[in-house]
Structure 1
């Protein structure tokens, strides 16, 4: 006589079927990595965060490069005002109005670094807005536009402004 333990013959089969159903239901919850091995939701989130971090690092490097192009530039942060209301354009990018008022006695051009942050102050994106040929004592408007779509409540601030 065969013995099947406390679950009996049908109990073991039920456990096997339950395990197979659990596996089948869990499969759609995981993605695949580039080599077609299962990727957990945690690793997918980490990958997305890594890509966002790389995009931000790239944008930050580009901002630094563009500001460095302004040789013999003068700190002009006091000449720049930023509209506190950040909007979203038709492409889903965050935008903020920048107004430059030239306090110098001759025509100048400006490079303004605008940072886009979340409500907790975390840096989401950074851009450089170039405002060329602002007459002495005059003002000129420009628009800072994020490099990518940003979500949540976005706040903009002036990080640096250089005049030459």
Structure 2
């Protein structure tokens, strides 16, 4: 009787452990899906902001992203716009943050206004949420207007 009870307990424990691990995997998968959806929504919102700019011209060559660092719980990067034109200009810049493997993490839109002709001006791109691990900032799109 003891062997049967011990075997039944062992089987029950193994089954419970299997269900717990399966539940954990399902929870991780669901969390990953939610994270992916939220990340896609942030990217979409950034693209919408860029689409609101009227009379903007592609200015990717005018803008550079510096290295990332942390400011409190957010990742930041200094973005510099250099105006090659002969009149003052405003810049609207979409900055993507990526992890060490190049995976998209976040996207923000930064405005740098009143950049004088032949001059440079900087602004800080600040992530929408806490990013972990090594990150880089890249200019996804830049418009001069």
Normalization by structure 1: what TM-score?
0.80
1:63 and 1:145 mapped to 2: Cα distance? 13
- Larger CA Rg, structure 1 vs 2: 1
Tell me which of 2, 15, 30 is aligned to 1:10. Answer: 2
Residue 61 (structure 2) pairs with residue 78 (structure 1): yes
Give the alignment partner of residue 126 of structure 2, picking from 141, 145, 148.
Answer: 145
Aligned to 1:88: 70
Which structure's relative contact order is higher, taking Cα pairs within 8 Å and 6+ residues apart?
A: 2
**RMSD between aligned residues:** 2.0
* 1:61 aligned counterpart, secondary structure: helix
- Aligned structure 1 segments of 4 or more residues deviating by more than 3 angstroms: 19-24, 26-30
Normalising by structure 2, we get a TM-score of: 0.89
5+ residue gaps in structure 1? 1-8, 31-38
Aligned residue pair count? 145
